[in-house]
Structure 1
Amino acid sequence: MAKAKSTKRMPKKLYEAELKRLQIELVSMQQWVTATGARIVVIFEGRDAAGKGGAIKRVMQYLNPRSARVVALPTPSERERGQWYFQRYIERLPTAGEMVLMDRSWYNRAGVERVMEYCTEEQYFRFLRQTPIFERLLVEDGIILLKYWYSVSDTHQEARFHSRLNDPMRRWKLSDTDVQSITKWEDYSRAKDAMFEATDIPEAPWWTIESDDKRASRLNTIKHLLSSVPYETLEPNEVTIPSRPEAMDYVRPPLDSQRFVPDHAKSLRKSAKAGAGRKG
C-alpha cells in the first residue's frame, strides 16, 4: 500500500464550527431559491475517492429535500442508450425554486467512458463539441451552473481505497472500475486535461478543489457555492406556537392493541449496565 503524503489536516473543532456557520447560510440560500424561483445545478466531478460524496452530504445535510436533491444516475438503460446523450440529464434539471446536486454528471463521458472505452471516438468528440453549446443554453435560460473538480493525489486516493476495502459501510463504494483507476492514473489525467480544455468556458467555468484534506475541501466547496449565488437573507415569517387545549372526550385505545417494535435500545442499556456491574 502506498503511504499517503502528509497533509496538515484542518483542526476538527475549527472545521465543525465553520461548517455549522456555512450550513446555516445554505439554509438561508435555499429559502431565497424557493422564494425567487431560482434554479441551481452544481456538478461534482473528480477522480474516484476524491471526496465528492462527503462534500455533497455536507451541502445537503440540513436542506429541505423537497427543493434540493442529489442526482446520481446509474448505468444507462438500453432505451437511454438510444437517446441523445444529454437527454436523461435534462429530465433531472431543476424547475423554479429547486437546486440539483449532480454526483457525477454528463461529464462521465469525458472521464470514465473515455478512459475505459465505454464510448466510441465519434461519441466522445461529439460530446466535447456539444457540451459548451449545451451549457451555454442552460446558463442563457437563467440556470446557475457550477462545476467543481475534486483534485486528489495518487497516494491519498490509494490510501482511501484501502480504507474502504475493510469497512463494511463503505465497501460498496469500491468497484472494479475504481480499482482500475490506479493503473490508469495518467489516462485519467489526460482525459481531464482534454475535458477542461474543451469545456472550461466563461459562462460555466471549472473550479478545482484540492481534496487531500477532506475537511478543508468541504468548507471550500460550500463557501464558494454561497459566494456564487446572489442570494439575500430573508426574514422568516413570524410563527406563534398555540397553547395545547385540554383533552375533552378523547380516549386513547389500550396499548396492548398496538404493535410496538422490540425495544432494542433498552436491551443494549441493560447489557451495558450488567457489564459495568460485573467489572465493578
Structure 2
Amino acid sequence: MEKEFTDLDIKKLNSNKGLLALLSKEPLNVERALRYLNYEKKLKKLQVELIKLQTWAIENNERIIILFEGRDAAGKGGAIRRITERINPRHMRIVALPKPSEDQTTQWYFQRYVEQFPKAGEIVFFDRSWYNRAIVEPVNDFCTKEEYEIFMNQVNDFEKMILQSGIFLVKIYMSISKKEQAKRFEDLQNDPLKQWKMTAVDKRAQELWDDYTEYKKAMFSKTNTEISSWKVIRANRKTEARVAAINHVLDKIPYQKDIKI
C-alpha cells in the first residue's frame, strides 16, 4: 500500500531544501527526503536550546564534560559536529587525543585527560575518552591486564571526584549493529574524502566484534553508576541518533531554559 502524503508534506518537498533532499541521493525516495526535512527542522530547534545551555554555562561559570564512546564508525564525530556547529567556538573544545607520547605512558593514566578539562564557562567534548582503557586498549593489546584492572578499579572514584568538584559529566555510548558497521566501513573506504578516517584499529573491528562486546558489557556493569550513568543510543540511523544525543545532553544539564540569547 502506497503512503499518502499530506499537503504539508508536498509543500515541504516543493521548497528548495525539499528538492535538494529529494535529489541528493539515488534512487529518489520521497519518505527519506521527508524524514531528512523533519530532522533538519527538529535539529534547528534543538540547536537553539544548546545555545541557551552554553549561554547559561558561560554566565554561571559552569564546567561541562560530554564524552562520546561507541563502536568504530558509530557516528560519534557526526553527533559532536551537530551539537557544536551553532554554539560559540570560543567557549567549547573538541578533544580527540592521539596515541599517548612516550612521556605520557609513564604518567598516571588519567593525567592527560585531566589536562583537557574545562575551565569556567566552557564545554569540552571528548571524542573517545579515558574509556579507551575499558575497551579499545585491552581488545587490541594496547595495555596489560594489570593496567586494565587498575583502570577499572579507579575509574568510578575518578568520576566521583570530577562530579564533586562541580563539573557536569555526561557519558554517551553510540551503538550500531555489526552489519551497519561493515556497511559504513565500506562507504568510508570507497570515499576518497573520508578514507583517512579508517585506522588500523578500525580494520580489525569486525573480526574482533565479540571481544569488543565482552569488554563493553564489563564496562557498563562496572561504570554505569547511579551518580555517573551511561546513555546508550542506538545509532544505525544517524539522524535519529544525533537528535537523541542532543536531547540527552539537554536533559542532563539543568540549564536555564528561559535565558535570553
* Bigger proportion of residues as helix: 2
Q: Secondary structure of 1:99's match?
A: strand
Q: Could you tell me which of 232, 235, 253 is aligned with 1:211?
A: 235
Deviations along 1:11-65, one digit per CA (max 9) or x if unpaired, are 1011000000000110111000000011110110001000101000000101111
Task: Answer yes or no: is 1:229 the counterpart of 2:246.
Answer: no
Q: Secondary structure of 2:204's match?
A: helix
- Contact kept, 8 Å, 2:69 with 2:173, in 1: the verdict is yes
Q: When the two structures are aligned, how many residues end up with a matched partner?
A: 229
- Contact kept, 8 Å, 2:172 with 2:233, in 1: the verdict is yes
Q: Distance in 2 between matches of 1:60 and 1:81?
A: 31
Paired residue for 1:114?
138
- Report deviation, 1:199: 1.0
Paired residue for 1:36?
60
Q: Could you tell me which of 168, 179, 184 is aligned with 2:192?
A: 168
Q: Kindly provide the amino acid, as one letter, of the partner of residue 132 in structure 2.
A: N
Q: Distance in 2 between matches of 1:59 and 1:21?
A: 12
- Report deviation, 1:104: 0.0
Q: Distance in 1 between matches of 2:260 and 2:54?
A: 13
Deviations along 1:146-171, one digit per CA (max 9) or x if unpaired, are 10010100000000000000111110
Q: Distance in 2 between matches of 1:87 and 1:188?
A: 25
TM-score by length of 2: 0.86
Q: Which runs of 5+ in 1 are unaligned?
A: 1-7, 237-280
* Higher-Rg member (1/2): 1
- Report deviation, 1:194: 0.6
- Report deviation, 1:234: 2.1
Q: Name the Cα RMSD after superposition.
A: 1.2
Percent of aligned pairs with the same amino acid: 45
Q: Secondary structure of 1:49's match?
A: coil
Q: Distance in 2 between matches of 1:138 and 1:72?
A: 19
Paired residue for 2:173?
149
Q: For 1:30-179, what aligned pairs fall within 5 Å after superposition?
A: 30-179=54-203
Q: Distance in 1 between matches of 2:133 and 2:253?
A: 28
Q: Secondary structure of 2:57's match?
A: helix
Q: Distance in 2 between matches of 1:98 and 1:118?
A: 32
Q: Could you tell me which of 207, 213, 216 is aligned with 1:189?
A: 213
Q: Distance in 2 between matches of 1:108 and 1:128?
A: 11
Deviations along 1:54-97, one digit per CA (max 9) or x if unpaired, are 00000010111111110000000001001000000000000111
TM-score by length of 1: 0.80
Q: Kindly provide the amino acid, as one letter, of the partner of residue 232 in structure 2.
A: T
Q: Distance in 2 between matches of 1:132 and 1:188?
A: 21
Q: Kindly provide the amino acid, as one letter, of the partner of residue 18 in structure 1.
A: K
Q: Distance in 2 between matches of 1:77 and 1:174?
A: 21
Q: Kindly provide the amino acid, as one letter, of the partner of residue 260 in structure 2.
A: E
Task: Answer yes or no: is 1:24 the counterpart of 2:67.
Answer: no
- Contact kept, 8 Å, 2:174 with 2:235, in 1: the verdict is yes
Q: Which runs of 5+ in 2 are unaligned?
A: 1-30
Paired residue for 2:28?
none
Q: Distance in 1 between matches of 2:117 and 2:85?
A: 20
Q: Distance in 2 between matches of 1:110 and 1:228?
A: 23
Q: Distance in 2 between matches of 1:224 and 1:200?
A: 16
- Report deviation, 1:202: 1.1
